[in-house]
Structure 1
Amino acid sequence: MTTWYQTHAFNRLPLSSDSALPALSVISLDNLSLITAVGQDTIPYLQGQLTCDLVSLDKSHSTLAAHCDAKGKVWSAIRLFHHNDGVAYVQPASVAEKQLAEIKKYAVFSKVDFSLSEQVLIGVAGEKADSAVTSRFIGEGDVRATQTGTAVRIGNKRWLLAMNAEEADALIAELGERATLSDSSLWTLLELRAAMPAIEEANISEFIPQSINLQALDAISFKKGCYTGQETVARAKYRGINKRAAYLLQGEAAEAPKAGDTFDRSVGENWRTGGTVLSGYRFEDGQALALVVLPNNLDDDSQFRLADTDVLWQKVDLPYSLEDDA
């Protein structure tokens, strides 16, 4: 494990729920891991392991995807892109070793080598993020080569960079006082506001991809051939067997909800356990956000609370639609 993140002052920003975010921030992503895959069978091998259509993935774009077990339950939700001489993907560090062992299980029969990369991961975000990145890494599209790695546009004014420590040092030095350094909590907040699902260790093999909204994020191809777990994923789409989705909830909390925590939901005048936290963030003023897997047939007036608490939470509109257009 690299010690690079300790060489810079990446601190938690003291944000309230109404705080403006920095115009330019460089974020330590030490909570994520980078897996690389190289070899002539990389694309066909991963095509049979992941929900995305990697064969059709242009080198100027990245994709979300799920790696599922044989029952269609998600081992990990990943961000995948072409990187150096192969492909790479990022996922929470808490699942990296287990997921890597699982995806390598049948690779002995293919010419593909998987590695847990020692490159560092940093985020660049804010109003000035696009100009800071695109002026330094020339190219077109949302995935661009750097001197030693790759810059990936994650969303509006937000980039993920995978590169050697020396190149990351140089970038931070070049940006100087224009950039605010932050720990990974800021990235967690940005991912939450974008309602991007993550599978931490507590939630491995708990949900099918549609239960964490991956169909709404173009992370599932229903036109590609077979892959591990494909039968369950297809049945969820065409037979309507999926009964859950991930929703954004907001409320007060003594500490940030964490992966695996449970929410209760109101059913008439009663309460039932019915929600599992994927990720959470707490502001300095006590307000908090959580991305929670809940039944997808909730009443409009449903209320929510963290288990063993009385504080009510409310649903926040997702930044994308869960409606199935197909």
Structure 2
Amino acid sequence: MDWQNTFTPFSIASDEALPPLILSHLTTWGAITIVGDDKKSYLQGQVTCDVVTLTEDESTLGAHCDAKGKVWSIFRLFNHNQGYAMLQPHSAIEVELAEIRKYAVFSKVDIAQSSDVILGVIGEQAQTLVDGLSESRGNVRAIEGGSAIKVDSSRWVLLLTEEAAQKVVESHDAVNTDAAIWTRFDIEAALPIIEKDQQNAHIPQAVNLDALGGISFSKGCYTGQETVARAKYRGMNKRAMFIVKGTTSEPLNMDAPVSLERAVGENWRSAGQLLASYQFSNNQAIGLLVASKDLDSDTQLRLAEQPDQLWSLESLPYTLDDE
């Protein structure tokens, strides 16, 4: 049997306990790799995070912007196979690859889309699984066939050759599922997910990247840096990303945009399109919404496509940077 066919949809209620170990085949995610003598200096001049100070055993979130500071890509950057990898939604890679390569002709770098298999390791046994793959105890580890990267206390992501990925899957007794469960955890952690339809729509601070440590304000110039700096020092950013939660009368179509409306007196106005959403099995759903930073915590929301289904704002797991 093809090992990749063991990954099937996983249905769970919002109040149901998770299995101790889940392997998620992240087919909706991809990576761009950067190798070559000038890889560090080239990336340093392109992205919001500080590449120079990034150690081999750590990862960082970051953004790549256009000249006006609008985001092409939100990624997790880490050392991988003698170079760097930028993990991000697969749908964003076609445009991002062209943009990140734009000035590469002037540097000794090779930038390409990775062919690695990407696995998410989730649950209370995730750390034990990864510890068994390497003697290293860093948050980024070279393992057989690729790399292991810690995302949080219960999640790791593996970038592996197909042979190495098959070995991991067949060697562990886990619930094997698709990428949807990974999206759930990203939403609950309020980690921005920029798909193709949201590229070039937001500055990094509008998706909370500053609060997540993905912007360095001391590293020097990079593409879009002027706008990003003005947003911080002149208070120009008026938007933020929120976790939203509510009910559904029928399952959300995960392949179509999901829009919310907000109550304004007795009327309803558009609140925006969700960056990402996850459907639970008990008619509950969660998502990420970019809206005004001044949005009241008790603002009533509803699904535009299911207007009888009410939603609300949830608390973020971190503090927004208002400096």
TM-score norm. by structure 1 comes to: 0.94
Q: What secondary structure is seen at the aligned counterpart in 2 of 1:202?
A: helix
For 2:76 and 2:215, the matched residues in 1 are separated by 12
CA RMSD of aligned residues (A): 1.6
Question: Which AA in structure 2 matches 1:173?
Answer: E
Which of 234, 251, 256 does residue 252 from structure 2 map onto?
256
Task: Give the conservation status (yes or no) of the 8 Å contact 2:133–2:144.
Answer: no
Q: What secondary structure is seen at the aligned counterpart in 2 of 1:55?
A: coil
Q: 1:238 matched to which residue of 2?
A: 233
Q: CA deviation at 1:271?
A: 2.0
1:167 aligns with 2:170: no
Task: Give the conservation status (yes or no) of the 8 Å contact 1:5–1:28.
Answer: no
Q: 2:315 matched to which residue of 1?
A: 317
For 2:257 and 2:102, the matched residues in 1 are separated by 27
Task: Give the conservation status (yes or no) of the 8 Å contact 1:202–1:260.
Answer: no
Deviation string, structure 1 residues 38-87 (Cα, Å, up to 9, x no partner):
00111111111100000000111000001111110100100110001111
Percent identity between matched residues is 47
Task: Give the conservation status (yes or no) of the 8 Å contact 1:246–1:294.
Answer: yes
Which of 7, 13, 25 does residue 10 from structure 2 map onto?
13
Q: What secondary structure is seen at the aligned counterpart in 2 of 1:264?
A: strand
Task: Give the conservation status (yes or no) of the 8 Å contact 2:241–2:291.
Answer: yes
Q: In the TM superposition, what are the counterparts of 1:81-100 in structure 2 within 5 Å?
A: 81-100=78-97
For 2:210 and 2:187, the matched residues in 1 are separated by 17
Q: 2:22 matched to which residue of 1?
A: 25
Q: In the TM superposition, what are the counterparts of 1:220-299 in structure 2 within 5 Å?
A: 220-253=215-248, 254-256=250-252, 260-299=257-296
For 1:11 and 1:152, the matched residues in 2 are separated by 23
Which of 39, 42, 63 does residue 39 from structure 2 map onto?
42
1:107 aligns with 2:104: yes
Q: 1:197 matched to which residue of 2?
A: 192
Q: CA deviation at 1:302?
A: 1.0
Q: Tell me, which stretches of 5 or more residues in structure 2 are unaligned?
A: none
Deviation string, structure 1 residues 227-285 (Cα, Å, up to 9, x no partner):
01111111111111111111011111223365753221122333221323110001111
Distance 1:161 1:229, change over 3 A: same
Which of 182, 186, 193 does residue 187 from structure 1 map onto?
182
Distance 1:39 1:204, change over 3 A: same
Q: 2:134 matched to which residue of 1?
A: 137
Distance 1:34 1:6, change over 3 A: farther
Q: What secondary structure is seen at the aligned counterpart in 1 of 2:221?
A: coil
Q: What secondary structure is seen at the aligned counterpart in 2 of 1:123?
A: strand
1:53 aligns with 2:32: no
Q: CA deviation at 1:22?
A: 1.2
1:206 aligns with 2:201: yes
Q: What secondary structure is seen at the aligned counterpart in 2 of 1:250?
A: strand
For 2:87 and 2:205, the matched residues in 1 are separated by 20
For 1:5 and 1:158, the matched residues in 2 are separated by 25
Q: What secondary structure is seen at the aligned counterpart in 2 of 1:54?
A: coil
Q: CA deviation at 1:28?
A: 0.2
Which of 175, 193, 213 does residue 218 from structure 1 map onto?
213
Report how many residues are paired.
320
For 2:139 and 2:277, the matched residues in 1 are separated by 27
Q: What secondary structure is seen at the aligned counterpart in 1 of 2:171?
A: helix
Q: 2:115 matched to which residue of 1?
A: 118
Q: CA deviation at 1:170?
A: 1.0
For 1:122 and 1:5, the matched residues in 2 are separated by 16
Question: Which AA in structure 2 matches 1:255?
Answer: P
For 2:68 and 2:252, the matched residues in 1 are separated by 31
For 2:16 and 2:143, the matched residues in 1 are separated by 32
Q: CA deviation at 1:167?
A: 0.8
Task: Give the conservation status (yes or no) of the 8 Å contact 1:12–1:183.
Answer: yes
